Amino acid sequence: MFDYSARPELLKDRVILVTGAGRGIGAAAAKTYAAHGATVLLLGKTEANLTQVYDEIEAAGHPQPAVIPFNLETALPHQYDELAAMIETEFGHLDGLLHNASIIGPRTPIEQLSGENFMRVMQVNVNAMFMLTSTLLPLLKLSQDASVVFTSSSVGRKGRAYWGAYGVSKFATEGLMQTLADEVDGVAPVRSNSINPGGTRTSMRAQAYPGENPLNNPTPEEIMPVYLYLMGPDSTGINGQAFNAQ
């Protein structure tokens, strides 16, 4: 496990947007960031899930989060612009962006993978991630110390059979992370890095490995040290790196 111990006020006064914040790793990250002082913007497609995370953060007495229902699969360019305008009006800037939302798609040989399924995975995992990054970058540049964290996978670092669309989307994720890192290097107070969570006890993992005993994997809460490290000031100057949570 990544070795890092965060001080309680690590993210005090920071505004951090988390995609896929309704469940799994996204929900854990949102609650962890809030517990360390951040105002968390909860973005996801299922409002009921986001509201539950909101209620848990409120009940714990952490800074009041914001719920942003947003469907990354169907969102049009003007909706990204409206999202950025809303964040600017309400919060003035953005200190962190965690790209966590992904879909896995069918795990099947490339020969049997339909174009429709391939494009759906790329739409959520790559196109939407690019749109959010490019649209929110001006708000991140207004921060004194901003961090963009991309969620990768071992299959986005070395290709593996039957991971088709998902694997390709994670290679693209690493590419976007590296490209952004090189562009902001020494130019803007923004850093760009990726995390491979590894096998974690989530519904997506269960979907990918139905025969696996989930208890053999850590919970999302247990892999949070690297998520805190990259979002806080202790990682200032770390840019263009690919991290493993485990």
Q: Domains of the chain (ranges plus CATH)?
A: 13-242 (3.40.50.720)
- Per-10-residue mean pLDDT, the chain, length 246: 94 98 97 98 98 98 98 97 98 98 95 97 98 98 98 96 97 98 97 93 81 85 96 98 96
Active site residue: 33, 54, 166, 227, which one? 166
Residue 166 annotated as catalytic = yes
pTM of the entire structure? Answer: 0.96
Distance CA 9, CA 19 (A): 22
